[in-house]
Amino acid sequence: MQIIDQKSTKKAWASAIAQPAKEFPLTPLPILSGKIPEGLRGTLYRNTPARLERAGMRVGHWFDGDGAILAVNFTDTGATGVYRYVQTAGYQAESAAGKFLYGNYGMTAPGLIWNQWRKPVKNAANTSVLALSDKLLALWEGGHPHALDLETLATKGLDNLGDLNEGLFYSAHPKVDSQTGEIFNFGITPGLNATLNVYKSNFTGKIIQKSKFALAGIPLIHDFVLAGKYLIFFVPAVRLKILPVLLGTSSYSDALKWQPEIGTQILVIDRETLSLVSQGETEPWYQWHFANGYVDPSGAVIVDFTRYDDFQTNQYLSEVAAGKTRTAAKNRFTRVVLQPQTAKVTAIETLLDRTGEFPNVPQQNVGKFSRYTYMSLFRQGTDISQELLNAIARFDHNTATLIEANLGENRYPSEPLPVPDANNQQSWVLTVVYDGNFDRSEVWVFDSDRLDAEPVCTLGLPSVIAHSFHGTWKSKNLV
Ligand SMILES: [Fe+2]
């Protein structure tokens, strides 16, 4: 845990997470500019690590914040919003105690070191969301998802999706095939050597197929790729030193070590059988997120992702929790070409030499070629060691060009989510913006073809929304 540093000068982004975010009930949202597009009907959900402090103590890492879900409904009569903490057992226990009780990714549990092993890690339910027909899942990669009511965001409880045994985790980056409704995901079970569990669910979320693979050591795997008929895992060159974690002398985050000598391990898995097609190895890098993958006409697998040359990004993200960063974690939007039958990498190419995060493609293109990738970026000229992502952009793979939204000084957009229009071929880009000039949050809607123009609509939110990782969109008519 970190003691709050009150004295040093902080950047504008820090104010959004200086205090725990305040919930609000279902509330009509004022239109601040423009109008809501007629074909934009449905709900934006975002998961936000919203409480990074209790009783004057800060969490150790941005990943440790308690999850709160924002829902913004776009209807024929206007927009409404609701913001609710996920009522996890850990959140409720710490609320009752008025202090931190548990360890987490970036913090050991308070108290005597010899007593650490008795205390479970808190499921923070803070990373992403998956909208199903009858429930919203709040995802966290070290445990089971929490199910919430799609409208009220009331927490129903932990959900095992029909077949998640105790000890099987469900990561925060499921991949949904929009045509088949199948949902693929994975979970890492730690041990002396970790196990990679791979899951296939039907459209309701119910797990219908599982498989597992032994890994060397305990790596950190945050995301994976659906590429045509394959599931691809790049296992980064990071391994957990488990002993200090078990002894309670180190957090998970501090015990994760960059080991470039072991390279990046590649697993290619058949999406039908969930069996191994091939495995291989390539040069070391670290990635949190993949944009997308697909099989090109030659049969090669194309994987686009945000590539770091080392694991300094984890240090930077831990510093975010304290409200002041000093570690630069540069990356590049990168493409890997590999042969699925051998897992041999035949090309590694930089698509865009800009530091960014949260790359994604329209939901209907997941696993297939997508002309456009959306992402958050640092504006050019930004000091990336001190700032938070402050721009959103769309990369056009056909022309290798970028269009970028300039939101102005001290404004921090969330991951941009492309959303199809219900009436035509048009699409919109939704982002939740923290405006550090006025200490308030807004929802901005852009025309996806005109990200460099003014937003078509902006909506006011009743309270500041914490900076967030991931969200999703649920169209009104989708069940
Ligand atoms: Fe993520």
Name the band, by pLDDT with cuts 50, 70 and 90, for residue 114: low
Distance from the alpha carbon of residue 226 to the mean position of ligand 1, in angstroms:
15
**In angstroms, rounded to a whole number, what is the distance separating the alpha carbons of residues 240 and 254?**
9
Q: Compute how many other C-beta atoms are within 10 angstroms of the C-beta atom of residue 114.
A: 9
pLDDT digits (tens, 9 = 90+) for 56-65: 999 999 999 9
Judge residue 412's burial from the number of C-beta atoms within 10 Å of its C-beta, 0-12 exposed, 13-18 middle, 19 or more buried: buried
Distance from the alpha carbon of residue 34 to the mean position of ligand 1, in angstroms:
31
pLDDT digits (tens, 9 = 90+) for 288-315: 999 999 999 999 999 999 999 999 999 9
Distance from the alpha carbon of residue 217 to the mean position of ligand 1, in angstroms:
22
pLDDT for res 119 = 63
pLDDT at 5 over 80: no
Distance from the alpha carbon of residue 127 to the mean position of ligand 1, in angstroms:
7
User: Beta partners for 29?
Assistant: 79
Distance from the alpha carbon of residue 257 to the mean position of ligand 1, in angstroms:
19
Residue listed under structure tokens 């650490």 = 116
Calculate what percentage of the chain has a pLDDT beyond 70. 96
pLDDT for res 121 = 86
Structure tokens at 41: 């009907």
73-77, 108-112, 186-190, 222-226: segment of lowest average pLDDT? 108-112
Mean pLDDT across 230-241: 97
pLDDT at 258 over 80: yes
Calculate what percentage of the chain has a pLDDT beyond 90. 91
Name the band, by pLDDT with cuts 50, 70 and 90, for residue 113: low
Distance from the alpha carbon of residue 144 to the mean position of ligand 1, in angstroms:
16
Distance from the alpha carbon of residue 176 to the mean position of ligand 1, in angstroms:
15
pLDDT for res 479 = 45
Distance from the alpha carbon of residue 65 to the mean position of ligand 1, in angstroms:
14
Distance from the alpha carbon of residue 111 to the mean position of ligand 1, in angstroms:
30
Distance from the alpha carbon of residue 185 to the mean position of ligand 1, in angstroms:
13
Distances (CA, A) of 181 to 201, 205, 467: 9, 9, 30
Distance from the alpha carbon of residue 288 to the mean position of ligand 1, in angstroms:
6
Distance from the alpha carbon of residue 173 to the mean position of ligand 1, in angstroms:
7
Q: What is the largest CA-CA distance in the chain?
A: 62
Name the band, by pLDDT with cuts 50, 70 and 90, for residue 120: confident
Structure tokens at 169: 């985790």
pLDDT for res 117 = 53
Q: Compute how many other C-beta atoms are within 10 angstroms of the C-beta atom of residue 273.
A: 11
pLDDT for res 8 = 59
Mean pLDDT across 383-406: 97
pLDDT digits (tens, 9 = 90+) for 188-197: 998 889 999 9
More confident residue, 343 or 190: 343
Work out the mean pLDDT of the chain and round it to a whole number: 95
| Structural domain boundaries in the chain | 12-475
CATH number of 12-475: 2.130.10.10
pLDDT at 377 over 60: yes
Name the band, by pLDDT with cuts 50, 70 and 90, for residue 110: confident
Mean pLDDT across 409-427: 96
Q: Compute how many other C-beta atoms are within 10 angstroms of the C-beta atom of residue 254.
A: 20
Distance from the alpha carbon of residue 386 to the mean position of ligand 1, in angstroms:
21
